[in-house]
């Protein structure tokens, strides 16, 4: 795993429908590889589709997929005092953003997420979780007119760039979901592949899996493997199945989640590869979450799907946490899947 590139990808700003900064970086990296002119395309929705020639022609069309977008906040209204009202783009817990430093709009104006002081809340309000409508973004201005010179409704509020290694082999950052998957795909494309393989860097996963279905409809794969970050709830007070998966346990291979029942033969193949090649792995112990596989499997006459995810604490928060060793295990499994999916009868 190229950690420097993962940090760079996480530092880019690109929420659903505004993935241009991430797309430009990926296209830049692909251009350095001198791929054939027709090997890379961008569709009408903004997905990047890549066909990488391997040592042998593919026996079946296999698509590896990751999404470029991250969760964020969007400005909805300018208040008379200059502060900003906003709502979430994707699934963001309002309580997780209070007091956080943010960057607003194309010019990345510094801001902070504020809320009404607790001593001004009613007794009932103190018992309720925060919601987006009770929060505001302060960019240091004093009037609506002053703010309007800098920010407009529809502008995006991003969490602050903060990628850094810490502790014993951990990485924290915004946007690990799913810049991790993008980093895996880039590493694979740069490598010498045993078989021709298709790759899709897709848009708008966080608001309804919109790009992945379009990409799959174009490529019409028989099999698709989605690389993702998934919720690890290995936290104090969380026991048994409620932990879902754990940091340090290796790659997460899902058999079911909140959107998809995964192909059993592909699940078994991934497990067998891990066991035979010494790749640490785990599965999800709770039906939770979902990813682009849910849209891909419905494309055309149907696509068989598999998901490989890095376990991630505090998903969709201003700072998520993964173990570097888990990321490395995911990448090892990714490399093992390319020949196995072509050569084994699954």
Rounded Cα–Cα distance for residues 300 and 79 (Å)? 47
Residue 194 Cα distances to 65, 185, 274, 337, 338, angstroms = 18, 15, 19, 11, 7
Contacts 24+ apart (CB under 8 A), 101-104: 101/160, 102/73, 102/137, 102/157, 102/158, 102/159, 102/160, 103/13, 103/157, 103/158, 103/159, 103/160, 103/161, 104/75, 104/137, 104/139, 104/150, 104/151, 104/155, 104/156, 104/157, 104/158
CB atoms within 10 A of CB 132: 17
Rounded Cα–Cα distance for residues 289 and 293 (Å)? 11
Q: Is 205 a catalytic residue?
A: yes
At residue 144, φ and ψ (nearest 5 deg) are: -60, -40
Q: Tell me if 46 sits within 8 A of 203, measured CB to CB.
A: yes
Tokens of 219: 């490529």
Query: Which residue is catalytic, options 19, 70, 205, 331?
Result: 205
Element (H, E) at 179: helix 176-190
Active-site residue list: 205
């Amino acid at each position: 795993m190229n950690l420097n590139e993962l940090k760079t990808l996480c530092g880019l700003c690109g929420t659903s429908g505004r993935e241009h900064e991430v797309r430009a970086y990926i296209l830049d990296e692909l251009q350095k590889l001198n791929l054939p002119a027709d090997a890379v395309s961008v569709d009408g929705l903004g997905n990047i589709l890549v066909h990488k020639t391997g040592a042998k022609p593919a026996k079946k069309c296999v698509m590896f997929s990751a999404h470029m977008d991250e969760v964020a906040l969007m400005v909805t209204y300018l208040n008379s005092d200059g502060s900003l009202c906003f709502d979430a783009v994707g699934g963001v817990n309002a309580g997780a953003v209070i007091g956080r430093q943010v960057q607003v709009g194309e010019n990345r104006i510094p801001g902070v997420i504020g809320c009404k002081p607790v001593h001004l809340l009613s007794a009932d309000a103190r018992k309720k979780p925060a919601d987006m409508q009770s929060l505001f973004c302060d960019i240091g201005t004093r009037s609506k007119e002053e703010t309007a010179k800098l920010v407009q409704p529809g502008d995006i509020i991003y969490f602050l760039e903060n990628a850094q290694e810490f502790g014993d082999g951990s990485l924290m950052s915004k946007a690990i979901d799913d810049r991790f998957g993008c980093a895996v795909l880039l590493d694979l494309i740069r490598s010498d592949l045993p078989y021709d393989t298709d790759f899709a860097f897709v848009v708008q996963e966080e608001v309804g899996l919109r790009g992945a279905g379009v990409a799959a409809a174009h490529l019409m794969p028989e099999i698709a493997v989605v690389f993702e970050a998934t919720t690890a709830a290995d936290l104090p007070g969380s026991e048994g199945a409620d932990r879902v998966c754990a940091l340090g346990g290796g790659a997460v291979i899902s058999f079911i989640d909140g959107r998809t029942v995964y192909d059993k033969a592909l699940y078994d193949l991934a497990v067998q590869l891990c066991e035979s090649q010494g790749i640490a792995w785990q599965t999800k112990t709770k039906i939770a979450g979902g990813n682009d596989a849910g849209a891909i499997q419905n494309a055309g006459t149907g696509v068989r799907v598999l998901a490989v995810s890095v376990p991630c604490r505090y998903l969709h928060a201003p700072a998520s946490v993964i173990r570097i060793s888990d990321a490395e295990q995911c990448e090892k499994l990714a490399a093992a899947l390319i020949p196995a999916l072509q050569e084994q009868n699954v």
